Amino acid sequence: MAELILHLPGIESISGSALPDPLADALCKARYAGRYSCDPLEQVLGCAPIPAPAVLSVLGQGLDPADRYWLRFDVLRMVPDLTAVWIDRPLAVDFDAPAYADLRAELAALFDSEGLEGRYRFAGRFGLIDLPTRAECGFAHLDAAQGGRLDEFLPDGAEAPRWRRLITASQMLFHRYRALDRADQTGAGLWFWGGGASVAPGSGAGDLCVADAFDSAPARGLANWLGASVDSRAALGGGRLDGRLLAGLPLAHAEAGQALRALVSDWLRPALEALRRGSLARVTVVGSSGVWRLGRLHPLAFWRRRAQGLAQGAQR
């Protein structure tokens, strides 16, 4: 069965009034499958548990996670005001670019000072840290922390002081690092998240293909873990699907309005047209906790006036 699976982590937190009309209308008429206590993508794909984001990033780099505990770190924009420091979206920092060589050296010295010699690696737009055992510390997921106060999402637990020091020191480092000066930036710092250990390879990929639309290490890692093929397409296009296509669209990793508009133009509109023509059997939208399903008859669900599972304010 030809099916497009749109993985949209964080879609539930976006008010319906902020959604583009085609997306809001589609979700209003979709069949809402309800909230899941576990990762809904695991339920849709029929596999569990999916490795942690850091482990998927390791797999996406073609590395072996082995029997270690992995953390991922990204550079986030952090916005101070009179009351607090607020966590914003990731910044497009390429650690491999020559322009960031000095920054990379200073971060390496910072990690070394915290006893992490030889346990970190830079991987383009993010970095990885491997630990011999699970960190005695809780790390907030990037999607959950965005938009929140920094002090409410800092690491907690027995080993939290080390990671809090790294976050604070990185903010001071980025403040000194002039190559990151941009008109839309008032601060930056590292964010550690997505921790986990390797798990047994997944199975049941069947006819699943994973679209690596954003050159995403987690997308490639998920495909590697499942044994699925990888498709480099950046949009659905007009071609016919022979099986299931999973496209992960990181709404939280870009300017929200731009990401939503690209979602509609590159994926949703072509998918709705394919549903109408009969070349696509179903569109499944997977959020952080809920699932919506669209079929050929979904436009007839005119009685639905509100998209279930979204943030309050999702009025039509």
Give the SS3 label for residue 224. Answer: helix
pLDDT interval class at 312 (50, 70, 90): very low
Q: Which tens digit of pLDDT belongs to each residue from 259-278?
A: 888 889 999 999 999 888 88
Question: Which H or E element spans position 27?
Answer: helix 21-29
Residues sharing a CB contact under 8 Å with residue 191, sequence separation 6 or more, in sequence order: 73, 74, 75, 76, 87, 90, 142, 145, 167
Query: What is Dmax (Cα atoms) for the chain?
Result: 62
pLDDT tens digits, 113-144 = 999 999 999 998 999 999 999 999 999 998 88
220-254: buried (b, 16+ CB within 10 Å) or exposed (e) per residue?
Answer: bbbbbbbebeebeeeebeeeebeebbbbbbbbbbb
Please give the pLDDT value at position 314. 39
Distance of CA 266 to the CA centre of its chain: 18
pLDDT at 307: 61
Angle, nearest 10°, between helix axes 53-60 and 217-226? 90
Residue 35 has pLDDT above 80, yes or no: no
Which range among 34-38, 147-151, 204-208, 295-299 has the greatest average pLDDT? Answer: 147-151
In 76-125, which residue ranges form alpha helices assigned H by DSSP?
101-113
Residues 206-223 pLDDT 10s = 788 998 877 788 999 999
On the question of pLDDT at 234 being above 70, the answer is: yes
Enumerate the domain spans of the chain.
3-49+202-300, 69-197
pLDDT digits (tens, 9 = 90+) for 47-81: 878 999 999 999 999 999 988 999 999 999 898 88
C-alpha 199/C-alpha 173 separation (Å) is: 35
